[in-house]
Amino acid sequence: MLLLKPRLLSLFVLGLFVSSAARSQSNVIDEVIAVVGDNPILRSDVEYQYQQAMMQGVSFTGDLKCHIFEQLLMQNLLLEQAKVDSVEVSENMVIMQVDRQINEFINRAGSREKLEEWLNKPLHQIKREQRVMVRNQMLTQQMQSKIAEDIRVTPAEIRAFYRRTPQDSLPMVPAQFEVQQITLFPKIELEDTENVKARLREYQRQVADGRDFATLAVLYSEDPMSAARGGELGFMARAELVPEFAQVAFNLQEPGRVSKIVETEFGFHIIQLIERQGDRINVRHILLRPKPRPAAIVEAQQRADSIATIIRDGKMSFEEAAIRFSMDKDTRINGGLMVNPMNQSTKFEIPHIAPAINRQIENMEVGDVSNAFMMKDERLGKDYFALVKLRSRNEPHRANIRDDYQLLQTLLENQKREETFHQWIIKKQHETYISISPNWVNCRFDFEGWRK
C-alpha cells in the first residue's frame, strides 16, 4: 500500500484465501478426526491445507496429509494453553489483518462481486470466517513466542557452541557487503508544484459537480495500487498512515466528503471518506506527483558527481558528505550506512541489494566511491541520483566466531527455542485430553505422544 509506513509461518497457517475457496467449493464429507482439549479437528481442515500446499507446489518427503494433521494437533495444543494463560490478541489487529487480506482477495478476484461469486458466499460471511482463522493464527504465534520468551544465550555459551560444532556442520556464509550511500533528488520547480495543485482543485470541483471520485482516481491517480480500485485504500487505523495524510483523513466526518489538498512525502493528495468504523476509516485518494524538469535532473547528477570528486580528493569524508548533502533521512545520520531490513544489520547479501547498487559495487574495491547513478525509490515513486561507497566485503566462508558472532548467536538461540518448544509439546501431550480417529492414528508423527 502506497501510504503505509515503513512474516515464516508453519504449514498449518499457510494461505487462508485458497482454504476459504476450498471450503465453499469442496464436496468432501466432513468428520471429526481428532479432539485436542475442547477443540475438534475436522477432516476438511486437513484437506483444505493439503489443497493449498498442492497449489503452491510444496515439496514434502513423506505423507503430507499426516504432516498437516500433526501441525493442526500442535496448533490446538497452543490454543488450549492460550486459554489457560488468558493470552489475548488485539481485536483491532485482527480486524486490520483481515481487512488487508480481504482487500488483497478483492484485488485478485477483480471486484467484490466476483469474490463473492467465486467463494459462493457474501462478503460479511467471508470476513467472519477470516476473523476466526486470523485470530487463531495470532494466538498460536503469540503463544509460541511466550513459551520461548526467556531464551537467552551468553557469550560463553556461544563460544562453546562454536567449539563443539564440527566445521563441516557450520553454515556457509555467502558474500556480504556493507554499503554507504548519498542520495540527491532533483529539484522541483514551484510552478510545477502549483500546476499539480491546480489539477487537484479541478478534480475537487468536478466531484462537487457530481462526477464520481473513484472514476477520477482510476483515470488520474499516480498511486497504481489503489488507482485500480478507484483510489480505495481499505480500512486503516491512524498509525498505518503517514501522519499528514492521517490527520486530514480522520478529520473527514461525512461519507463522500472530499478533503483539502494534502502534501506528504509521496506527493499531493485529495481524500474522500467512504466509511468510518470506530477508530478505523476507509478512504479513497487521488495522488499526483510534480515531476522534475530535464534541466533539474542534469543538475542533480552534476551535483552528485561533484560531491563524489570532493570525497575522492580527500576534502571531505563520505560520512561528512552524507550528513551534509544526502536527502535520505534513514541513512543520513549514520554517515550514509545502509541497514538491512531483513535482519537490522549493516551487512547485505547479493539478493538483498538493489540491482542498481549491485551493478556499481561488483567491480569496486573496498573504500571506492561510485560515480552518480540514477535509482528509483519504489516506495515514494520518485527517481533520484545516488553515490555509494563500498565500506566492506566479506568473501563466502564457513561461519566463524570473529566475523559471524551474531549469526552464531541466532543459530544457538533458535536451537534452544526448538528444544524448549519440543519439551513443551511432550509435556502438554501428557496433560491434555487428546483423541485421534482410528483412520488417522497410524500416521508417522514426529511426536509419538499423540497416541494415547
User: Taking the domains of the chain in order of start, what are their residue ranges?
Assistant: 11-151+415-450, 175-188+293-395, 190-288
Q: Which of 3-17, 28-42, 128-142, 305-319 has the lowest mean pLDDT?
A: 3-17
- The yes-or-no verdict on residue 4 having pLDDT over 50 is no
Residue 23 pLDDT > 50, yes or no?
no
> What crossing angle do the helices spanning 16-25 and 91-109 adopt, rounded to 10°?
70
Q: Confidence band (pLDDT; 50, 70, 90) for 132?
A: confident
Task: Please check the confidence at residue 315 and state whether its pLDDT lies above 90.
Answer: yes
The cell for 136 is: 487463531
- Cα 46 from Cα 67, distance rounded (Å): 9
Q: What confidence category does residue 9 fall into, taking pLDDT thresholds of 50, 70 and 90?
A: very low
Please report the pLDDT score of residue 166 as a whole number. 94
Instruction: Please determine whether the domains at 175-188+293-395 and 190-288 fall in the same fold group of CATH.
Output: yes
Q: How far is CA 63 from CA 51, 228, 442, in A?
A: 14, 42, 11
* pLDDT of 252 higher than 70: yes
Fold of 11-151+415-450: Triger factor/SurA peptide-binding fold (1.10.4030)
What mean pLDDT, rounded, does the chain reach? 87
Does residue 159 carry a pLDDT above 80? yes
Write phi, then psi, for 406 (nearest 5 degrees): -65, -40
**Residue 2: pLDDT above 60?**
no
| pLDDT tops 80 at residue 11 | no
What is the pLDDT averaged over residues 122-143? 85
Residue 55 has what pLDDT? 57
Task: Tell me the percentage of the chain whose pLDDT exceeds 70.
Answer: 92
Average of pLDDT values for 159-165? 95
pLDDT at 197: 97
144: which residues sit within 8 A by CB, 6+ positions away? 78, 421
Residues 395-441: tens digit of each pLDDT = 999 999 988 898 899 999 999 999 999 999 999 999 999 999 999 99
Strand partners, 32: 42
CATH of domain 175-188+293-395: 3.10.50.40
Determine contact, residues 80/38, Cβ cutoff 8 Å.
Answer: yes
Q: What is the pLDDT of residues 70-81, one digit of tens each?
A: 999 999 999 989
Counting other chains too, the contacts that 148-156 makes at CB distance below 8 Å and 24 or more residues apart are: 148/416, 148/417, 148/420, 148/421, 151/413, 151/416, 151/417, 151/420, 152/413, 153/409, 153/412, 153/413, 153/416
Q: In the structure, what pLDDT confidence band is assigned to residue 107 with cuts at 50, 70 and 90?
A: confident
Where is average pLDDT lowest: 125-139, 287-301, 361-375, 405-419? 125-139
Q: Of 9, 13, 47, give the one whose Cα is nearest residue 27.
A: 47
> Residue 91 pLDDT > 80, yes or no?
no
Each residue's pLDDT tens digit, 32-64: 999 998 889 999 888 877 876 775 677 788 899
**Cβ atoms of residues 73 and 36 within 8 Å:** yes
Report pLDDT digits (tens) over 224-239.
888 988 999 888 888 8
* Arithmetic mean of pLDDT, 337-351: 88
Average pLDDT over residues 326-339: 92
Sorted by sequence, the CB contacts under 8 Å of residue 32 that are 6+ apart come out as: 40, 41, 42, 43, 437
Q: What is the pLDDT of residue 27?
A: 45
Establish how many alpha carbons lie within 13 A of residue 375's alpha carbon, considering only the half-sphere containing its beta carbon: 25
How far does CA 185 lie from the centroid of its chain?
Answer: 26
The span from the CA of 127 to the CA of 133, in Å, is 10
* Each residue's pLDDT tens digit, 267-306: 999 999 999 988 889 999 999 999 999 999 999 999 999 9
Compute the distance between CA of residue 130 and CA of residue 132 in angstroms, rounded to an integer. 5
**Domain with residues 190-288, CATH architecture:** Roll (3.10)
Percent of the chain with pLDDT over 90: 63
pLDDT at 13 over 80: no
pLDDT in tens, 178-203: 999 999 999 999 999 999 999 999 99
Mean pLDDT, range 373-382, rounded to an integer = 88
pLDDT score recorded for residue 413: 94
pLDDT of residue 7: 30
